[in-house]
Chains A and B, each alone.
Chain A
Amino acid sequence: MNESAQVVGMGVAAPSGLSVEDYWAAVLAGRTSIGPVTGFDASGYAVRLAGQIGDFDAAAHLPKRLLPQTDRVTRLALATAASALAGADIEGAEMDSFDQGVVLANAQGGSEFTHREFRKLWTKGPAEVSVYESFAWFYAVNTGQISIRHGMRGPCGALVGEQAGGLDAISLARRRIIEGTRLMVTGGFDSAFDPWGFLSQNSHGRLSQATDPRHAYRPFDRAVDGYVAGEGGAVLVLEAGSSARRRNAPSYGEIAGYAATFDPRPDSGRPPTLRRAIELAMADAGVSTVDVVFADSAGVPELDRIEAAAIGDVFGHRGVPVTAPKAGFGRLGAGGGPVDVLTALLSMRDSVIPPTPHTTDVPEDYGLDLVLDAPRERRVDTALVLARGYGGFNSALVVRKNAEEGQDG
């Protein structure tokens, strides 16, 4: 293909930080950004811990007009998109509004807003329900609000695939770039820490009931007993390579390859398909190996074993460094994949692989070279990011550093 999808801007809102550099510093330090559930009375829940963003001041980031009509997840998405676009520095690039699109993933909707309005419906009656509930609940609202605020009238979309959806969204944005759109805002966000949202997040019983934040989410560890749910996500600004070159826009790297597979029914006797997603994504990128894998890291023994086997089958026994920085802040649903892609791009920039906090004892037969308690310095030119969504979604995405002329790295 002639056109490439270059990452020219990035923003993040995660329990580990609300700016790219704050987040990156926390992740490199292996900081624990997991704590007791806050925002509502969670004392009646078996699950005690979450990865929540403690210091987000929506009013400081958004026009007042947007506050009454947005859920927390949309506010996080809007603030992060604005910061990613500022970094992309497209002012003055004279892009037609129809040449700019938005594709974001979201799996849990505007949960807190919706359940506040439902409470009003049941207790005060229909006249008290906000008219903004008509769209504030919706999975596509983050995409729509960003599109409206920044005047982006090109191809837009919203994808739902639980934790896998964020990578699917980035891939769809890449496809739009290859088809001829000049700029795409992409990524994913989730936040559902209201009484109903938190309950629904554990409908499958995979959340850890541990009370020690250092023990609640230890992916690939022998002692793992679930994961921690978190909130947040990331925005990547993708620009057509030809356009970025024309205006000398610096790029963090290229979205180089992607594939998605869907697992067969659990009782079918057929094997899971994560391995095939990895192979197809690498074929799409035209690479035979990568320098690091950012694992999905389900935190469920059976799923960790499936992922370790898929990585081992493709790369060999301890054949590639693997990491799971999300062990420090939780699984962010639709936001998880985009945050990992952002982290992978920072690994490329700084030639260092961040650690997997909390995990200490990886079964030998997993054959994983997991980067454990300290960052590992290493040149990173290609990275593979994996994400699995509940119900059988597998997505794999390859990012690649650009060959730079006249620059080091």
Chain B
Amino acid sequence: MINSLYLQLLVGTLIGLGSGYIGSFMVLRRMSLVGDALSHVALPGIAVALLIGINPFIGAFAALVVAILGIWALEKKTELPSETLVGIFFTLSLALGLLLTPEPELLEALFGNISKINIIDAALTGIFTVFIFMAIRRLAKGLMLSIVSKDLAKSVRIPVDKMNLIFLLLVAVVVALGLKVAGTLLMGSLVIIPAAASKNISVSLSRYTATAAVFGGLSAFSGIWVANYFNIVPGPIVVLAGGIVFLVTLLFKK
């Protein structure tokens, strides 16, 4: 059977790797809260997609892009993302999504359901994950320098605003992909927790980003495997697995 546990594990691990990797820069940019709330925005997108009968991934991605453009504009204007505004706007969209999403699909949209994955999803996830790794690798220097000092980054001709937009759009791709694993409620943690764990134990940037990716992959793999064994929804278990990794790294904090 093609829709096997192996396929779920493969897709889940790929998404975990990508989420951990991109999450490492989100955490450094102090976007943890934004990252978490951002995933909520996907819900009304999924709802609308279901209502008009298109692929929910497209609906989620479209909603995320709208939210991303909002964050980008805010960042450009005010240096720091305006957390209150983001918090209000994103929870409102969650409320709206809860009302709009058809009842049968609601649970799945909220917590994800990777057991419905097919071979095309797997192929697309593979392509997107490779793309995300390549893109973030190219952006890494600029992202890091702008975290150290925006002026320093601009002084070496890094187009900070443009780079931020590309980065945020990549975040939208990762979050939209990850909805299958963790759903709109929990996807944010799949991005944030592995990176936070890796930050505890890493001294260098290369080690930090690589470890974050590995932690993401590991959480997804073990979460899906355990969930399958006990026959429960994988999303929450994946997030809990990440939580355990985080607690362990706290013991070795640098």
Q: Are A and B bound to each other?
A: no
